[in-house]
Structure 1
């Protein structure tokens, strides 16, 4: 009983750290997030955070996983909604795109992408997260085909990959604050491309 309580306390402590890390990234960007700065926000020590995560890369990866787990739940709920396939696809696009230039999830993605070349753990974790998005989008498209809402014979895996590549590019532009890039414009472009890719003859 006591061991279970300790594990629960440890998981709660980790979640508080991850939540605070995401909040810090949203407020001040990733460059200012250090173990000592995060420890100060939490009222603890840098060593305490290192006890749970070991290093900054691991902290960032676990923060991304924590954030993505929430989105995975939203995706699963979306896939079971009783709405038209076109509407479901639109909601998927909205869920994927960043909320704006300070989106902490997308800030983390961009930072960790740059580190995957030399870090096998990061590369494997990112691939695992990507597969979830790919499989869910392909499933959504396949259901739309079965319902006659999308083109018959649509290569759902290929179209899912194309859409996700487009969304990654649009999301990066939004998060980096490139001139003329904002969420509304990115969503409009994603909608237009998605409509062309799935349209019936």
Structure 2
């Protein structure tokens, strides 16, 4: 029983650290997230944070994975819903795009993209997350084709890759706060492009 309690407490402690790290990113940006700053927010020591994560890169990756797991649940619920294929595709796009310039998940993505060239475990973890979005979008498009809502013979893998690349570009512009790039305009452009990518002849 004691061992079970320790494992449960450890899991809760880890979850609390990840949640607080995401909050810190939203409030202060990624540059302000250090092991010592996170420890101070949690009322613990930097060594305690290092015990769980080992390095800032690992912490960032764990925070991203934790955030993405919640999005995966939302995405799977969306795909399992009763809405039509067009409505589901719109919901998928809405879920993918950042909420605004201070979106912590997207701030993390941009930071970690810059680190993947020299960090193979990080590259593999990001590829796994990307694969989940790609496969679910392919599945959504394929269902729309079967239902006659999207173009017959649509190359679902290629269209999904194109759409995700577009969404990445629009999302980056929103997060970086570029002129004229906000969530509403990004959503309009994404939906317009999406319609052209899947439309029937």
Query: Normalising by structure 1, what TM-score?
Result: 0.99
Once the two structures are TM-superposed, the CA of residue 47 in structure 1 deviates from its matched residue by 0.5
Once the two structures are TM-superposed, the CA of residue 74 in structure 1 deviates from its matched residue by 0.3
Once the two structures are TM-superposed, the CA of residue 7 in structure 1 deviates from its matched residue by 1.1
Name the counterpart of 2:160.
160
Once the two structures are TM-superposed, the CA of residue 133 in structure 1 deviates from its matched residue by 0.2
Name the counterpart of 1:193.
193
User: What CA deviation, in whole Å up to 9, does each residue of 1:32-55 have, x standing for no partner?
Assistant: 111111001001111000000001
1:82 aligns with 2:79: no
1:64 aligns with 2:52: no
1:95 aligns with 2:61: no
Once the two structures are TM-superposed, the CA of residue 2 in structure 1 deviates from its matched residue by 1.8
Q: Give the paired residue count.
A: 201
C-alpha separation between the residues in 1 aligned to 2:5 and 2:75?
31
SS class of match (2:32): coil
SS class of match (2:31): coil
C-alpha separation between the residues in 1 aligned to 2:84 and 2:77?
14
Name the counterpart of 2:49.
49
Over aligned residue pairs, what C-alpha RMSD do you find? 0.5
Name the counterpart of 2:178.
178
User: What CA deviation, in whole Å up to 9, does each residue of 1:91-148 have, x standing for no partner?
Assistant: 0000000000000000000000000000001000000000000000000000000000
Name the counterpart of 1:123.
123
Unmatched 5+ residue regions in structure 1? none
SS class of match (1:65): helix
Once the two structures are TM-superposed, the CA of residue 84 in structure 1 deviates from its matched residue by 1.1
Once the two structures are TM-superposed, the CA of residue 5 in structure 1 deviates from its matched residue by 1.5
Query: Normalising by structure 2, what TM-score?
Result: 0.99
